[in-house]
Structure 1
Amino acid sequence: MNTPPSPPGTQRTDGLSVQIGALVPLTRPGWAEAGQHVLAGLELAVRDVNDAGGIGGRPLELVVRDTAADPERAAAAVDDLARLGVAALAGEYHSIVARAAAARADALGLPFLCSSAVLDALTEQPTEWVARLSPPQSRGWQVYADFLLGAGHRRIAVAAQSSAYWASGTRILRDYLAPRGGTVIELDMRALTPTAVCDELVDHRATALLLLVGHPEPAVSIVKSVRRDPRLAEIMIGAPAGQPEFAEWATSLGGDSAAIPFLRYLPDHLSPLGARVETALRERLAAAPSFVAFEGYDTIAVLANVLRSHGTDRASTAASWPRVAVEGTRGKIRFSRVPGISVWQWASTPIQVVDQDPAEPDRFRILHVG
């Protein structure tokens, strides 16, 4: 465990609020809608904590920093928040950004509860300072691969952009599908237009196309091209990274947005707490809350429990991860060491494969449960 001494003045001594630093993408090129959902969950949970008496009588306060999907900006924000004396860090949606934030938090000895990023290698080396609520990518994408196999897909194309996140996803799918009779055909989106993707799908006799690309582009253009190609009327389009979870997806694609299976991290039925939070989030967002908003709420629920039980000392917070047992919106949250994962991990995060019902665009169909 890396435990550098805290510089003078890094812990608040005014006795007023307990501060948590919140990292969220709120501007482009970050997925701002996802960031808004994370933040809505964080803010709602802070309100509930303060309505219940705060942390030992002190109000809980969020100090928000926009990462804009920029790893360097996120690392600088961690430095800034550490100097301000926050008790812990929360949030982040983009995996590559969360990895930069986690590395910096580990180096500074600042507890970080990552809300929504899934990249397995969140830190290069095992750390005691970082914990995570979302499942590791390997677990979620293997569940998605099981869904593909169960639906009869063996020749699966991935339209992939260049990034560590997409490369990791492609590798997970290939390693899992190959021993089970599946083939992954990689389409390099640095070299292909959306129209050329259609030709490749025909040539390779693919039955499924997975979008491992950014939104809105090139994802929107690829979907439109495939949907309009009569040669590909039977092909399934999938988006394991979860792009269709957000309203912006349907706004961009209209009727073409439906029947595109994706991963989300919700149970079949929310707990009573989850149902209450869903109602409050819907009012706050003026829209149906995504699973990302629930992740934000659960992050604060965990941190508030830790801070109440163990105080606001950073080392005490980091040492408490294995003792966490908190009822969240999606089940009981406990952290453990998972083989191959370098951070404290909630190992039983619920996982679903869902899609938007073409007949009822406001309804998601549960297709598979992991």
Structure 2
Amino acid sequence: MTTPSSKPGAKRVDASAAIRIGALVPLTRPGWVEAGRHLLAGFEMAVRDVNQAGGIDGRPLELVVRDTAADPQRAAAAVDELARLGVAALAGEYHSVVARAAAARADALGLPFLCSSAVLDALTEQPTQWVARLAPAQSNGWRIYADFLLGAGHGRIAVATEPGVYWASGVGILRDCLASRGGTVIELDTRALAPTVMCDELVDSRATALLLLVGHPEPAVSIVKSVRRDQRLAEIMIGAPAGQPEFAEWATLLGDDGSAIPFLRYLPEHLGPLGVRVDSALRERLSEAPSFVAFEGYDTITVLAEALRSHGTDRARTAESWSRLDIEGTRGQIRFSRTPGISVWQWAWPPIHVVDRDPAQPDRFRILHNG
């Protein structure tokens, strides 16, 4: 739980009248812990800034954090608990399938939920007023990735897959985008193929690119190592549209093998003044470069704070405010709208680039394609 902070010159806030926001974050395995740490850092930084600026009409924000551990049932139970505790709204989650479970409970309970990072298009089964999302829908981002593949001359694509709604959705998006322009997608099931056997299948497939539609660190890391060491596959491009190479752990585990693997990144080419300030503060807090997930976390709290400030803490009024919000975020101006095929209020769209880690300087990202 984050308590309000203060510094000389800050406006006074009444800590006894805190406004609580529930935060859903993967902090333990099998959740992607590094992503959760960055998301929470963004939340906490924004709460600190809101409270140092006087809070919400003199009342501080307070985070009530719950670890989802990438478990949909655990997340749904956390939503129930947080609703009983009287939170004004929910923020989070990173994993799409977990966010979908949280969104379903928030919708059923009438609890505003601003989804930070999950991209699965079908975040709820039916259109809802209670849920809004900052991250781009998967169909939007992965179509951009398909455009990148075709523009780079890759029309025959192999995908290493494992079970899951998110991965299956990604395969479907890629297949539709590529097939409409003469491309082909070949699925390689990681449950049935060890990494070395997968290399044999890749050679036989004549694919020019292999996409990692699998979890991190495993089996993604083992697959990359096997492909990089197979001289028959020296010319194949490895890609990771889901963003596994974004985090420092990727470079730590793979070294030079982890570079030149294009992925989707939700940051502008150049940050504005707010983004630069937040970037600097997050670097100090995390002791490393912040990922785009940390910025998503910061923007989530910034949006919720403005909704609470402008429309009060009544849950229904907060949910009714999505369409009226117009807020400067770290990555651009944030406005929500109803987008065809998307059941929640959506920021359409955050900045999207296809980037990779520079082989000459792995902690530097190269922009390969503009979304």
- Fold similarity call, TM over 0.5: yes
1:72 offset after TM fit, Å?
A: 0.3
After superposition, give the CA deviation of every residue in 1:118-155 in whole Å (9 maximum; x if it has no partner): 00000000000000000000000000000000100010
Cα distance in 2, alignment partners of residues 149 and 120 from structure 1: 23
Cα distance in 1, alignment partners of residues 201 and 323 from structure 2: 48
1:114-133 map, 5 Å:
114-133=115-134
1:271 offset after TM fit, Å?
A: 1.2
2:343 maps to amino acid: S
Cα distance in 2, alignment partners of residues 286 and 209 from structure 1: 33
Match of 1:39, SS state, is helix
Cα distance in 1, alignment partners of residues 301 and 100 from structure 2: 20
Look up the match of 2:211: 210
* 2:291 is aligned with 1:290: yes
* 2:194 is aligned with 1:200: no
After superposition, give the CA deviation of every residue in 1:235-278 in whole Å (9 maximum; x if it has no partner): 00000000000011111111111000000100111110000000
Cα distance in 1, alignment partners of residues 363 and 120 from structure 2: 30
Cα distance in 2, alignment partners of residues 15 and 161 from structure 1: 48
2:24 maps to amino acid: L
Look up the match of 1:314: 315
1:227-238 map, 5 Å:
227-238=228-239
Cα distance in 2, alignment partners of residues 105 and 279 from structure 1: 34
Cα distance in 2, alignment partners of residues 345 and 15 from structure 1: 34
Cα distance in 2, alignment partners of residues 148 and 226 from structure 1: 19
Look up the match of 2:361: 360
1:188 offset after TM fit, Å?
A: 1.1
Look up the match of 2:76: 75
1:228 maps to amino acid: R
Cα distance in 2, alignment partners of residues 281 and 244 from structure 1: 19
Cα distance in 1, alignment partners of residues 290 and 242 from structure 2: 17
Gapped runs of 5+ residues in structure 1?
1-13
Identity %: 82
Cα distance in 1, alignment partners of residues 192 and 216 from structure 2: 18
1:54 offset after TM fit, Å?
A: 0.1
Cα distance in 2, alignment partners of residues 51 and 287 from structure 1: 24
Cα distance in 2, alignment partners of residues 224 and 73 from structure 1: 33
Cα distance in 2, alignment partners of residues 350 and 320 from structure 1: 23
1:192-341 map, 5 Å:
192-341=193-342
Cα distance in 2, alignment partners of residues 274 and 344 from structure 1: 23
After superposition, give the CA deviation of every residue in 1:298-340 in whole Å (9 maximum; x if it has no partner): 0000000000000000000000000010000000000000000
After superposition, give the CA deviation of every residue in 1:3-61 in whole Å (9 maximum; x if it has no partner): xxxxxxxxxxx961000000000000000000000000000000000000001100100
Q: TM-score, normalised by structure 2?
A: 0.96
CA RMSD of aligned residues (A): 0.8
* 2:47 is aligned with 1:38: no
Look up the match of 1:110: 111
1:216 offset after TM fit, Å?
A: 1.1
Match of 2:363, SS state, is coil
Look up the match of 1:3: none
Cα distance in 1, alignment partners of residues 126 and 16 from structure 2: 35
Aligned length: 357
Match of 1:362, SS state, is strand
Look up the match of 1:8: none
4+ residue segments displaced more than 6 Å: none
1:73 offset after TM fit, Å?
A: 0.3
Cα distance in 2, alignment partners of residues 328 and 214 from structure 1: 30
Cα distance in 1, alignment partners of residues 272 and 128 from structure 2: 31
Cα distance in 2, alignment partners of residues 167 and 196 from structure 1: 22
Look up the match of 1:9: none
1:181 offset after TM fit, Å?
A: 1.4
Cα distance in 1, alignment partners of residues 203 and 283 from structure 2: 42
Match of 1:237, SS state, is strand
1:361 offset after TM fit, Å?
A: 1.3
Cα distance in 2, alignment partners of residues 174 and 28 from structure 1: 31
Cα distance in 1, alignment partners of residues 233 and 365 from structure 2: 24
